[in-house]
């Protein structure tokens, strides 16, 4: 079987438009599907006519999950393609990794935090120094949480919880499921730590805490008030985090995930909203005024049509009422 480094690489079409590069694993590759309203699909719509959006996400193949160790082989390919592409430097690149790296041993996808950090720093350093990325902005996106179901009452003595989380007298928090959930959070924290270190020395790098955004959005959907600390971060009830799999915790709203790991429309909606808000606030030059004007015009037209329809119904009621009188 051909490697996805080449077989699924997006063909480069001649264009005078600058590219936008989305780099990562399956959460990026599959984000171009309209059915899940992925952020790749959304960025294509938002930047239509201003930029081309390159899909450089790679899902697993032959039972391999694409972690940063394997993606390190794909980054030089991206660099080569940019060097030969007849287009300006990319407007920005998203680096969205960690969902596979954070899997626990014995999972083959596991990459230790130091190596995970080294891969990301290597990519960011390349973007900040290589002429092919002149002026390119970098958005480091944290991996999302996973979505585990809470154990049922009848799982206490038999089934999955008995075999894993409670084996050898261990509690749910010591089981593989919750430790995997906690690992995703640790890797998300590492991404934000890396991003902050670059933000101190460069105005071209920013971090997007997607883990926090998705959890906060779900807590709001569940009707829970978000308590903030002095730094503006959310204070969480550690026993009731959405999708953590602990007894009493709730899963994410249906549509947020399509399985325990991969995002659905509601999950990608949060990512798109957070990404565009971050891009346009941090770098206003990356906003697409034409798209914003189109959206405003479409919204105004829709409201005008609704008003006309409402007024038409009112006139009809008035006429019918008048004839009956």
| Same-domain status, 305 and 176 | no
For residue 103, what are the β-bridge partners? none
Domain shared by 222 and 314, yes or no: no
Whether residues 304 and 158 fall in one domain: no
For the chain, first and last CA: distance in Å?
Answer: 79
Q: pLDDT tens across 106-128, in order?
A: 888 999 999 999 999 999 999 99
When pLDDT is averaged across residues 259-264 and rounded to a whole number, the result is 96
Write down the pLDDT at residue 117.
98
pLDDT at residue number 80: 95
Same-domain status, 219 and 81 = yes
Q: How many structural domains does the chain have?
A: 2
Which pLDDT tens digit goes with each residue over 205-242?
999 999 999 999 999 999 998 999 888 889 999 999 99
Q: Would strands 205-208 and 52-57 be described as parallel, antiparallel, or unpaired?
A: unpaired
Judge if 209 and 235 occupy the same domain. yes
Instruction: Give residue for tokens 């001649």.
Output: 14
CATH number for the domain harbouring residue 80 = 3.40.50.1110
CA angle 221, 292, 296 (to 5 degrees): 80
Tokens read off for 306? 């609704």
Question: Given CA atoms 44, 46, 51, 56 in this order, what sign does their dihedral have?
Answer: negative
> CA–CA distance from 151 to each of 15, 137, 166, 167 (Å)?
53, 43, 11, 14
**Distance separating alpha carbons of residues 117 and 97, to the nearest angstrom:** 11
Predicted pLDDT at 64 = 72
pTM: 0.83
**Residues taking part in catalysis:** 26
Q: Is the peptide bond before 106 cis (omega within 30 degrees of 0)?
A: yes
Co-location of 170 and 314 in the same domain: no
User: Which secondary-structure segment (H or E) carries 199?
Assistant: helix 176-199
Picking from 306, 271, 284, the residue whose alpha carbon sits closest to that of residue 31 is 271
Residues 165, 196, single domain; the answer is yes
Q: Are residues 297 and 273 in the same domain?
A: no
Say how far apart CA 65 and CA 271 lie, in whole Å: 22
Q: What is the per-residue pLDDT across 184-201, written as a single tens digit (0 to 9) for each?
A: 999 999 999 999 999 999
Q: Are residues 251 and 279 in the same domain?
A: yes
Distance between CA atoms of 163 and 106, rounded to whole angstroms? 17
Q: What is the DSSP letter of 275?
A: H
Q: For position 298, what pLDDT does the model report?
A: 53
Give how far Cα 115 sits from Cα of 42, 272, 283, Å.
32, 28, 30
Say whether both 55 and 167 belong to one domain: yes
Residues 245 and 316 in one domain: no
pLDDT at position 155 over 60:
no
Q: How many angstroms separate the CA atoms of 97 and 143, rounded?
A: 6
- The reported pLDDT for the residue numbered 248 is 85
Q: Do 194 and 214 lie in a common domain?
A: yes
Write out pLDDT tens, residues 276-303: 999 999 999 999 986 655 555 555 555 5
Q: What is the per-residue pLDDT for 45?
A: 97
Q: Which domain holds residue 89?
A: 4-287
């Amino acid at each position: 079987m051909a490697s996805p480094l080449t077989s699924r690489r997006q063909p480069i079409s001649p264009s005078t438009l600058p590219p936008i590069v989305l780099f990562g694993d399956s959460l990026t590759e599959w984000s171009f599907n309209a059915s899940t309203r992925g952020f790749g699909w959304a960025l294509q719509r938002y930047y239509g006519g201003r930029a081309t959006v390159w899909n450089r996400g790679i899902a697993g193949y032959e039972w391999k999950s694409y972690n940063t160790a394997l993606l390190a082989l794909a980054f030089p390919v991206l660099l080569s393609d940019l060097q030969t592409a007849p287009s300006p430097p990319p407007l920005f690149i998203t680096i969205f990794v960690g969902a596979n790296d954070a899997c626990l041993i014995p999972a083959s996808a596991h990459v230790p935090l130091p190596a995970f950090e080294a891969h990301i720093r290597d990519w960011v350093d390349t973007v900040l120094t290589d002429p092919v990325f002149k002026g390119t902005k970098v958005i480091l996106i944290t991996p999302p949480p996973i979505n585990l179901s809470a154990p049922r009452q009848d799982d206490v003595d038999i089934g999955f919880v008995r075999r894993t989380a409670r084996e050898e007298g261990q509690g749910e928090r010591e089981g593989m499921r919750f430790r995997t959930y906690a690992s995703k959070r640790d890797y998300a924290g590492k991404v934000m730590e890396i991003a902050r270190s670059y933000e101190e020395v460069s105005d071209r790098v920013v971090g997007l805490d997607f883990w926090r955004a998705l959890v906060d959005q779900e807590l709001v959907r569940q009707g829970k008030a978000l308590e903030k600390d002095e730094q503006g971060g959310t204070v969480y009830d550690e026993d009731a985090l959405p999708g953590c799999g602990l007894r009493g915790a709730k899963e994410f709203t249906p549509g947020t995930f399509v399985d325990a790991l991969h995002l659905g429309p509601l999950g990608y909606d949060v990512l798109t909203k957070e990404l565009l808000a971050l891009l346009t606030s941090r770098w206003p030059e990356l906003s697409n005024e034409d798209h914003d004007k189109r959206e405003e015009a479409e919204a105004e037209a829709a409201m005008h049509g609704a008003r006309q329809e409402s007024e038409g119904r009112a006139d009809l009621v008035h006429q019918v009422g008048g004839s009956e009188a």
